[in-house]
């Protein structure tokens, strides 16, 4: 029993420390426009027509029961309850394919593989979202850390955190839970 408790606390320490490296986010480098070709297409989600790269984001609001119906248990735990996956266990932390990463909750395109980089944290890391409006930010002071949480701009689902220790051109590291992303490879 003591060994299980010890392993649990070690795992918590690893998760918190890996996803909270260099937590100073007070002054960010202004985001530069990505050289991404953005093509607006329609997709049928819950019998509604939803743009993948909308100019204006229409908020998706559902009851917790509705979210539970459309999300897996893991997606629900992360997106709706602000959980996290263990480092190096998510489905996209080491994905090297070219394509687009979408929110599993509402199918909003969030990150392009061109902005993905290897951070060594065990989570998919990106230096900028497809559009700034697609990823919102919230102050996160849970567990004694001063971090910036990032959420989906359409459904407000928890994605992960952003830190100011990323590569050029933005200097940002969006540390994202891979298990709440859907990846669509370029054709």
Task: Indicate the domain borders of the chain.
Answer: 40-185
Q: What is the pLDDT of residue 1?
A: 61
b/e map of 123-140 (b: 16 or more CB within 10 Å)?
A: bbbbbbbbbeebbbeeeb
Q: What is the pLDDT of residue 5?
A: 54
Say whether 175 is catalytic.
yes
Residue stretches of the chain with pLDDT short of 70: 1-54
User: Which residues does 136 contact at the CB level (< 8 Å), separation at least 6?
Assistant: 150, 151, 152, 153, 156
Q: What is the pLDDT of residue 16?
A: 46
Q: What is the pLDDT of residue 21?
A: 45
| Architecture field, domain 40-185 | Beta Complex (2.170)
Q: What is the pLDDT of residue 126?
A: 98
Q: What is the pLDDT of residue 146?
A: 81
Gap between the Cα atoms of 185 and 101, Å rounded:
9
Tell me the pLDDT tens digit for each residue of 120-175: 999 999 999 999 999 999 887 777 778 899 999 999 999 999 999 999 999 999 99
The catalytic residue among 19, 103, 155, 175 is 175
If one counts every other C-beta atom within 10 angstroms of the C-beta of residue 167, the result is: 14
Q: What is the pLDDT of residue 32?
A: 37
């Amino acid at each position: 029993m003591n060994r299980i408790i010890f392993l649990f606390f070690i795992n918590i320490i690893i998760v918190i420390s890996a996803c909270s490296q260099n937590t100073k986010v007070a002054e960010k480098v202004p985001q530069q426009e990505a050289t991404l070709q953005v093509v607006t297409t329609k997709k049928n989600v819950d019998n509604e027509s939803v743009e993948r790269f909308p100019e204006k984001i229409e908020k998706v609001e559902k009851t917790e029961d509705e979210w539970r119906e459309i999300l897996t248990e893991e997606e629900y735990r992360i997106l709706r309850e602000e959980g996290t996956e263990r480092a190096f266990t998510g489905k996209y932390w080491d994905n090297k394919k070219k394509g687009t990463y979408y929110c599993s909750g509402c199918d909003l395109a969030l990150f392009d593989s061109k902005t993905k980089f290897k951070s060594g944290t065990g989570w998919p890391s990106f230096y900028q979202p497809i559009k700034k409006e697609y990823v919102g930010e919230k102050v996160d002071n849970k567990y004694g850390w001063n971090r910036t949480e990032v959420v989906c701009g359409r459904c407000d689902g928890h994605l992960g955190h952003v830190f100011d220790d990323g590569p050029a051109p933005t200097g940002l590291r969006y540390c994202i839970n891979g298990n709440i992303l859907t990846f669509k490879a370029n054709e």
